[in-house]
Structure 1
Amino acid sequence: MEHTENIFERLESEVRSYCRGWPVVFEESYGHTVIDESGREYIDFFAGAGALNYGHNNPVLKAKLLDYISGNGISHSLDMMTEAKSDFLEAMDERILSPRNLDYKVMFPGPTGTNSVEAALKLARQITGRTNVIAFTNAFHGMTLGSLALTGNGSKRDGAGVPLGNVTRMPYHRYLDDTDTIDLLAKHLEDTSSGVDMPAALILELVQAEGGVNVATNPWLRRLEKLLKEHGVLLIVDDIQAGCGRTGTFFSFESAGLDPDIVCLSKSLSGYGTPMAVTMFRRELDQWEPGKHNGTFRGHNLAFVTATAALHEYWQDDALTNQIKKKANIMRGVLDKIAEQVPEEAQQVRGRGMIQGIEFKDPATAGAICAAAFNRGLLIETSGASDEVLKLLPPLTIEESALTQGLEILQESVEEALVSIGN
């Protein structure tokens, strides 16, 4: 039989990426631990790019899923009514929406984050009759054409093969050192000769994860929301990676007190790594005609089951939020220490909750640290325009002892990588 690794080289497309930095065959996982076919264990500071906030094979979610499957529960249903969907909607309302006074309708646009964003764009344009959408520098919103038009990363945009239009790019918070970016945006919206068509919406990540862990402050966010309301521009929050508790609260916009018109969720919404996405919007914006937007896998009931279990298990009180705050402080302390030890290499530590990063002057440094960490048993990735930011995304449920162990490996990997580069 052909060796397992060779089959990937022979048959899988060259487009694959993560496996190039982690060239082993993974076989088993639980909690914060991933195990390869040789039996070697790795601490996971990647968490499925934010899709595994509650860890691998979470036992509570797994038990609910196995019970559902063994009972011959509906697995595929398009947009038909099922018990699993009903349970999810009730849990979403009870645990998340009603406690936050959010009167949102919930749409199931398809199973992935980019499906959620595409639906949001289509709805905003349909409601306002406008085509333009404002997106920020360093934004990442997905890889389908509408979402890719919003995305800033040049290498990702290069793969489109067609012009990416109907989007106006504006500078994110602190993108321009000496310029108030809200004042700049206001000037473009107010001046009829600015060349910017009045947009249907503005799409926002409160933490730009793929863009380099860039964080917007609450005062900046509130000024942005006020400006958009003055001009009748819809606010879309892309909470696909920063939502579901990653910043501490369920939604990343809670601490700023924002009231988005449309919210995109995916990644850890199912809680188990099974594909699931929703697009939520203010009730009066629900102007869809039946079937105007659809998808074969928008009724993924296995994901509904685990999502419901996650909402009831982790969002009935503030316990998880309090744990995240404590672990986030541990992470920040170590990253600050690393930055202090190598000031000539480290530029900035930034992040919120349990999505944090450290920027290096030379992008090769971040890559070398990731490689050294992998060799020491830690999975961690880079982000940013040139992959210059080391990004930490451990499961929210990781034990403190494992978090500390992973951070120790990270410190050792930084030292090893800098010595190697120096030589």
Structure 2
Amino acid sequence: MDVFAHLESEVRGYCRGWPTVFSTARGSHMTDEDGKTYLDFFAGAGTLNYGHNNPQLKQRLMDYLASDSVVHGLDMYTVAKRDFLDRFNEIVLAPRGLDYKVQFPGPAGNHSVEAALKLARKFTGRESVISFTNAFHGMTLGALAVTGNSMKRDGAGVPLGHGVAMPYDNYLDGRTPDFLLLETMLDDSGSGLDKPAAVIVETVQGEGGLNVATAEWLRGLSDLCKRHDILLIVDDVQMGCGRTGPFFSFEEAGITPDIVCLSKSLSGYGLPFAITLMRRDLDVWEPGEHNGTFRGFNPAFITATAALEDYWTGEGLEKQTLAKGQQVELALNEIALEHAGAIEGVRGRGLAWGLVMRDAEMAPRVCAEAFGRGLLMETSGPEGEVVKLLPPLTTTDAELARGLEIIAESVRAVRATVAV
């Protein structure tokens, strides 16, 4: 692996926790060049909801490429784009009563967030955006301005302005009424808080430590935004596309955001693809006012359409994901009970879960033990104190059970070392 240390930037991260060279992947498994296979509870940080090299999606992609169809088209009209838009509206938007326009801002989640922030400011004529403690929205400057993690913010190298952080659900003592601070400041002309263009929120903060907003809290936030004429942006980059059960993570709360950011598992195959959904009257862009060279990656249209047709017609994955989530929650609660002195609690929804360690240093050690036993996981949270699980939604019950066994073994191993 010398070539990586010699040539690749020191900014590389995930590979440091998984010191091997991967060569193949299928379903919920990755195999390295030495032939060792790992169960994947990382799934490309939520990009591979349908698993690695999903065979149905792969065949559609291979057929498309073999036919010399359009690969790169900027924002030109193509057959692949038309098919995606038709099926996305038919399968996702229309059944949910959502009348959104679709923008293709660029290939990654931060592009979707940047477009959302820029559009909100253009439409309202206001500058500031409210975000929440422990939020993560991306690594570009606009997205960093509404991100909570100090290490990531410090990497910007310039002041990050026009963003104001407020307490996320259950961030305070549990007795302070929701939105007391925010609403008081909005109502007080002497608070120094300029009326914001928008509020941006994750319904489940994945990178922030698997913090879950209740449906009641989200409804309260939506109502507050309506009362004060503030746009509500839901960042569903990691928790959308079925990760929490429904296609959109905000469905459980019964709210309708003004703007929605989607990426990661949208292509279904790990191909770069992002969209920004906006209320129809918000679409005030001038032609070419926000663009990008790779905002129309046609192979991603093909796999995204295939994923919608294969997994989101009929009941889709929702019931299976919720059932598997219960399996994970039960097993993690058992682990937490066994190690109550070391584990603060369990958080999550759908198939996004975390074990919160009392000592932040234990979380990466648990992940390292799991790697040695053939399981890929990452940490999250402001101090990296949460062992984070994001298995593909297509992971079988047996694979989930095996992964959860490895986690239990890994926690025991770390605690035994600490005891010694």
What range describes the TM-score normalised by the shorter chain of this pair? Answer: over 0.9
Pairwise CA distance, 1:185: 1.4
What pairs up with 1:329-340 in 2 under 5 angstroms? 329-340=326-337
Q: Spell out structure 1 runs of 4+ moving beyond 3 A.
A: none
Cα distance in 1 between the residues matched to 2:116 and 2:316: 32
Q: 2 CA distance for matches of 1:227 and 1:326?
A: 33
Listed as ranges, the gaps of 5+ residues in structure 2 are none
1:81 partnered with 2:68: no
> Which residue of 104, 129, 133 maps to 1:133?
129
SS in 1 for 2:73: coil
Percent identity at matched positions? Answer: 59
Q: Structure 2: how far apart are the matches of 1:421 and 1:289? A: 60
Taking the TM superposition and a 5 Å limit, the aligned residue runs for 1:156-235 are 156-177=152-173, 178-235=175-232
Aligned counterparts of 2:258 and 2:137: Cα–Cα separation in 1: 17
Shift of 1:325: 1.1
Please give the alpha-carbon distance, in whole angstroms, between the structure 1 residues aligned to 2:322 and 2:224: 31
* Per-residue deviation, residues 16-43 of structure 1 (Å, max 9, x unmatched): 0000000000000000010000000000
Between the aligned partners of 1:173 and 1:255, the Cα distance in structure 2 is 16
- Structure-2 residue corresponding to 1:36: 32
Whole-Å separation in 2 of the counterparts to 1:158 and 1:184? 26
Q: In 2, distance between residues paired with 1:74 and 1:143?
A: 30
- Displacement of 1:183 after TM fit? 1.8
Provide the rounded CA distance (Å) in 2 between the counterparts of 1:350 and 1:317. Answer: 29
Q: Which residue of 2 is the match for residue 272 of structure 1? A: 269
Select which of 328, 349, 353 maps to 2:350: 353
Q: What is the Cα deviation at residue 80 of structure 1?
A: 0.2
1:100-115 to 2 correspondence within 5 Å?
100-115=96-111
The residue aligned with 1:65 is 61
CA displacement at 1:180 relative to structure 2 = 2.1
Q: Deviations along 1:53-108, whole A, 9 cap, x unmatched?
A: 00000000000000000000100000000001001101100110000000000000
- Measured in 1, the distance between the counterparts of 2:63 and 2:376 equals 32
TM-score by length of 2: 0.99
- One-letter amino acid of the counterpart of residue 367, structure 2: C
Q: Which amino acid aligns with 1:21?
A: G
Establish whether residue 325 from structure 1 lines up as the match of residue 322 from structure 2.
yes
The one-letter amino acid of 1:152's match is G
- Pick aligned residue for 1:54 from 45, 50, 53: 50
Q: Secondary structure at the match of 1:363?
A: coil
Return the alpha-carbon distance in structure 1 between the equivalents of residues 297 and 142 of structure 2.
Answer: 23
CA deviations 1:205-226 (Å, max 9, x no partner) are 0000000000011111111111
Cα distance in 1, alignment partners of residues 361 and 419 from structure 2: 12
Is 2:140 aligned against 1:147? no
The separation in 2 between residues aligned to 1:157 and 1:378, in whole angstroms, is: 30
Provide the C-alpha distance between the structure 1 equivalents of 2:125 and 2:390, rounded to a whole number of angstroms. Answer: 39
**Counterparts of 1:320 and 1:117 in 2: how far apart (Å)?**
26
1:210/1:383 contact within 8 Å kept = yes
1:403 is aligned, of 400, 405, 409, to 400
Q: Choose which of 112, 116, 121 in structure 2 pairs with 1:116.
A: 112
Which amino acid is the alignment partner of residue 87 of structure 2?
A
* Paired residue secondary structure (1:280): strand
SS in 1 for 2:23: strand
Structure 1 equivalent of residue 235 of structure 2: 238
Q: Which amino acid aligns with 1:280?
A: L
1:314 lines up with 2:311 in the alignment: yes
1: CA distance between counterparts of 2:92 and 2:289?
Answer: 27
Distance 2:15 2:178 in 1: 38
Q: Report the alpha carbon displacement of residue 194 of structure 1 after superposing the two structures with TM.
A: 1.2
For the Cα contact (< 8 Å) 1:365–1:421, is it kept in 2? no
TM-score (norm 1): 0.98
Q: State the aligned residue count.
A: 419
Query: C-alpha deviations, 1:362-406, integer Å up to 9, x for none?
Result: 011111100000000000111000000111100000111111111
Name 1:20's counterpart in structure 2: 16
Amino acid at match of 1:392: L
